Structures are given as C-alpha cells and as structure tokens.
Amino acid sequence: MNNARTRVGMLLVICMLVGLVAGCGPTDTTTVPTTTPQGTTATPTTTPGTTPAGNPNLNAPGQLPICKEQETIRVVISQSPHVQSYKYGENKLSTLLQDRTNVAVEHILYPEADAQTKLNIELSTGGDLGDLILILMDRAMLATYGGQGVLLPLNDMIDQYGYLMKQLLDTDASALAKITAPDGNIYALPSGGLNSIIPNAYAMRHWIHTGFLEKYESATGKGMPTTTDEYYEYMKWCTENDPNGNGQADEVGWTGAEKTAVWYARPTCFLMNSFTLTNQDGYYQKDDKIGCAMIEDGYREGLKYINKLMEEGLMDENYPSNDENAIKTLVALEDGETVASITCGGMHNAATDHSVRFKYEIVAPLKGPDGFVNAFYDHYSTGVQPGKATIPATTEKADVVMLWMDSNYDPVVKLSDRYGEKDVDWEIPPAGTKAIDGGPATHKDITSQWNVPTYSHWFTAGPGMWAQYSGATCAPQPETDKNGNKIYDLEYFLYEAARLYEDYVTPCSVPNFFFDQETATKCNEWKTNINDYARSAITDFIFGNTDVSDDAEWDAYVAQVKSLGLDEYLATMQADFDANWKGTLPETYTPFPQRTE
C-alpha cells in the first residue's frame, strides 16, 4: 500500500505543476468558486487544469459549465418515497445541477428498501449500471468489484479531472491511504466532512412520549426512566392505563423497524446498549480486539429483556415489516397520542407533522440490570472516506462523469442536496449569526425539506461529496412558521441529543476494512450469510419462536453462526486491524470542544 500511496502522491504533484502552467493561459469559462460560511467567495488554492484531451466538448477541470454542448449521463441512485419527482424543471436539485454544469441526468432508480441487494445483483451479473453509481459500497464491495474489473480505477482520473476534490484530499494527510484499496487502486471518489461533533455519529437514539411520561409521573411518582427496569414499568403502565384517554387499549409501548433503511430503528440498536458493546451489525472493538456481540452473553441477556417486552404485549409486533411510512402512520394515530416510545435516529423518521414530533423527547441511554450503559459513537465516520460515487467499467462517459462529480464538491451543491434550493429552502446567514452549537452559522434551513414529501432534493442520494457544515452549524430556525405553527427544529434536537449521549460513550466502533479482492470476496460472503441468518434468528428469539433462555437453543444458534464463517471473518478483520488500525480507537471518549470558528 505504501508504494501505491507514493505513486498517487507523485501523480498529484505532477498534475498540480501542469495545472500551474495551464492556469497562466486565458479561458472563456468560469472557475468554480468556493463559498465560505458567511457567503463570500474565495479563490480556490488549486489551479484549474487544462482542457481534457480527447473530448473537445469538455471544459477544463474547475470550470463551469462542464461541457460546451449538453451531455447526458445515466446515474444509479436509491429512490426515496419522499422525493415526488427527479425530473429537470420539477426537482430543484436536478435543475440546479443541470443548469450549472450543462449535464443532464437520467436516473436509474433502485427502490430504497432493497437498493443494496439490487446493486449487488447488478454488479455481479453484468446488469445495467449506467455511467455513475451513487449508492455507498463498503470497502469489501469496492475491493471485490473493483478487482473484478466491474468498477473503474480512478487514480489517474482524479489526477486528470480533479480540481475541487483535490482540495478535499489536501485537508487530510492520510486521505489517499484511506481511499486506496490494497491493490493500489481507488474505486470510489473521496467524501469528507467537518472535524467537529457530527450528531449523526450518535444515532442509536430513543424517544419517549412527553405527555404519557407526565401522566405516568403524576400517577406513580416516577419520572423519566434511567434503567431498563424503569423503562419496562413505564411501558407497562402506558399499555394498561389508557393515557390517551379514548377508552380503548390501543397504546403501543414501543415501535421501530428491523429494516436498516429506517435510521437506527432496530430493537437491538438503542436497547442493546444497556447490555453490551455493539454496532448496528452486532460487532464491536475493545482493547484492540474485534468481537461479535451477537453470540455473547450480554447480547443474549438483552434479547431476553426484549423478548419479555414482546411477550407482554409492550412492543409493536409489526416492527419486522415496518418501513418509515408504517412507523409514521402508527405514531400519528389519535393525533400522535398512541405510541409511548420509539427507537430511531430522529423524530423525522417517526413523524411528518411537527406538532407530533414535539410530543416526544430524547431518552438518555438506560442502565441495564448489571449497571452497564453505553451510547454508540461511530468513531470512524469522520474525516475523508471512500464516498458513494463509483464509475462502472461499462460507461463510455467517464470523462464527463468525473468533471460532473468534481463540480459537486462545491459546498453549495452539498447544502442544496441536503436542504433544497438556495435562498428559498436555505440561505447563507449574515455574518455574526450564531449556529445551534454556538459557533458561527454556516447556513440556515428555511423550509425543512427533510423526511417530508419534496421536490427540493434527492434525499440521501444527492451527489454532494464535501460537507463543510453539519446540522450543528446550522442557524436556529424561528419558533413558528408564517401561519403561526410551531417549527420543530430538527438540527437543534439532534445536536442536543448528541451532546447528551456524549456523556455515555464507550468507544467500540469497528473500522470499515479494506481487503484485497480475494479476501474481500470471502468477507462479503461471510458477512452476508452471518447477517441473514443471525437477524432472522434474533427476530425469532424476540418473538419467542425460539426460546432464548434455553441453553440448547442458544448453543445451536451460536454454532450455526460460527458454521457460516464467523471465526474466519473475525480473524480476517483482526489481522487487518493489527496491521493498519491498532491504536486508532481511543480508550475513553473525549467530548468535542465548543466550536468557535
């Protein structure tokens, strides 16, 4: 890998020198500006490149528009049920991107709930992958399909067509190493964000109905649950005492979803943090060792607890099939007076109506029976990483795609693919405006176009690759809209939740490993087979279809997980960890300091 880093580094230097010479000549196009947090423009430090050889229709890297005569590229994305149209002239982001680049986008839409499965099938069977894929692949997938020649290596194209993306790479001395596969190739364009508190990294969250909690406290003298036993008592009371007052036993103690398309909504996300260290997939890191929580005693105790909740009728028995719309439909019943608590990343996953979102508040991580408590923090989610943009080897428009993607490192694009149209859905606030986190505000959300029916963006499928902001750097929203309705400031509540959860973090996240092609293929198979079996078995334990308290049943489950390659998978991850990641996870978590600039 060191040789690969050196080679890529030399190419970057050569490209910069060429760019300096080329930059002395005249141009008829506009250099892409860099927008600062307060709305002014700064001259980029990277010099625009020369016009790409071989395609006279293209302008130089760092220039807009990208092409003289309109080009069309076909892009694979995950189709969100929130997005009402992706068409130019109807979708604001589609319109912005085409107007600024002169590149039209034809979308190839994969249903959101099955996008990863569909992508794997198309990659492995030679299906139609268009000119660009905007669905995130883990490093094992990149190494596998890159090594098989399904994805193009991007090293030389980054050198030739990169302009803004090189500025991102310059922000992290280890950036190239992070995005380079063991075979020396780069298969996914880099993505990056701020080096500050990112609320999304603490997303195993839980929300409780404030009105039900107040009635529970009034009736019992007990307040916000702080332990799993207290949480059980709260849910039991809610399902037995008609807190919505409609005379029916229709209250639901807990809801969530098994599907990962709903943000951290599994019952084993938040609740399992009271019993063991684990990420969403059931793995963890401790003392520089990778472990599988799903076969350990702590996880088993957690499943016993969740099974108790299910068998006593405290949980939504439809959670395995729930999608986000199903959760929102349930939570909205009786004007938002039905569900006592919800596991999900944010209330935008559980309610569209702001008045319903306001009915819930964040729950701090709960202590388990043995006093264990944790808030999961994804330590490896910050900094430069392999992004979601990959180029299939079958495209004949790699040059157009590279220039188009490079233009999407402009912060305006990233803000627009999160919030919508500039100066309509969001704006750059005046200098001196304070953000939610107390630092200078980088932007202000105006119309709250996230997790609602929208024409403003592509939801999570947008092509922005460099987030020079976070939800915490957003200016606070006004208390009410123009009609006097209270506005639920999503970014504020997610930031406050992250700050609360910081006090409970024990670092345990697992790196996203980069294996060589042969190893990546094996790891993909192990990981998929283990996950498919384990999640099905875990659901059976929760519903009581299999008795989690029966030692023979549990031992059979553990044996089956191991027979699918768990020991080999753990050993492979451990070997790569020992070689490349040892010492990267701090023993204790240090809260992020207050941002001042």
Q: What is the DSSP string of 12-49?
A: HHHHHHHHHHHTTS--SSEEPPEE-TTS-EE--SSPP-
Cα atoms in the 13 Å half-sphere on the side-chain side of 170 = 12
Angle of helix 566-580 relative to helix 551-563, nearest 10 degrees, comes to 60
The whole-angstrom separation of Cα 374 and Cα 444 is: 32
Terminal CA-CA length for the chain: 36
CB neighbourhood size of 396 (10 A):
7
Phi-psi region of 133 (alpha: psi -120 to 50; beta: other; left: phi over 0): beta
The whole-angstrom separation of Cα 102 and Cα 95 is: 10
Per-residue pLDDT of the chain (597 residues; tens, 9 = 90+): 333 333 334 333 333 333 322 333 323 456 555 444 333 333 333 455 666 667 999 999 999 999 999 999 999 999 999 999 999 999 999 999 999 999 999 999 999 888 999 999 999 999 999 999 999 999 989 999 999 999 999 999 999 999 999 999 999 888 999 999 999 999 999 999 877 888 999 999 999 999 999 999 999 999 999 999 999 999 999 999 999 999 999 999 999 999 998 999 999 999 999 999 999 999 999 999 999 999 999 999 999 999 999 999 999 999 999 999 999 999 999 999 999 999 999 999 999 999 999 999 999 999 999 999 999 999 988 889 999 999 999 999 999 999 999 999 999 999 999 999 999 999 999 999 999 999 999 999 998 899 899 999 999 999 999 998 888 999 999 999 889 999 999 999 999 999 999 999 999 999 989 898 899 999 999 999 999 999 999 999 999 999 999 999 999 999 999 999 999 999 999 999 999 999 999 999 999 998 887
Give me the residue spans of the domains in the chain. 2-188+387-419, 204-377+509-580
- CATH superfamily placement of domain 2-188+387-419: Periplasmic binding protein-like II (3.40.190.10)
- Predicted TM-score of the model (pTM): 0.84
b/e 297-323 (16+ beta carbons within 10 angstroms → b): ebbbbbbbbbbbbbeeebbbeebbebb
- Residue 581's alpha-carbon distances to 179, 301, 508, in angstroms, are 14, 30, 13
The whole-angstrom separation of Cα 401 and Cα 76 is: 12
Tally helices (H) and strands (E) across the chain: 19, 18
Among 19, 12, 28, CA closest to 50:
19
What is the chain's alpha carbon radius of gyration, rounded to the nearest angstrom?
A: 25
Looking only at the bridges linking them, the beta strands covering 132-134 and 341-343 are: unpaired
CB neighbourhood size of 440 (10 A):
18
DSSP conformational letter for 284: E
- SS3 of residue 265 by DSSP: coil
Looking only at the bridges linking them, the beta strands covering 443-445 and 426-427 are: antiparallel
Sheet holding 360-362, edge to edge: 341-343, 206-209, 360-362
CATH class given for the domain over 204-377+509-580: alpha beta
Q: What confidence score (pLDDT) does residue 48 get?
A: 59
CB within 8 Å of 568: residues ≥ 6 apart: 522, 526
Among 470, 479, 468, 477, CA closest to 433:
477
Q: What confidence score (pLDDT) does residue 31 get?
A: 59
Cα atoms in the 13 Å half-sphere on the side-chain side of 230 = 20
Q: Which two tokens stand for residue 554?
A: 């549990």
The whole-angstrom separation of Cα 549 and Cα 87 is: 54
CB neighbourhood size of 414 (10 A):
21
Q: What is the DSSP string of 57-114?
A: TBPPTTEESSBSS-EEEEEEEEEPTTBS--SBTTBHHHHHHHHHHSEEEEEEEEEGGG
DSSP conformational letter for 259: S
Phi and psi (nearest 5°) for 177? Answer: -65, -35
Q: What confidence score (pLDDT) does residue 46 get?
A: 43
295-300 long-range contacts, CB within 8 A, separation 24+ = 295/557, 295/558, 295/561, 295/562, 295/566, 298/372, 299/268, 299/272, 299/275, 300/548, 300/554
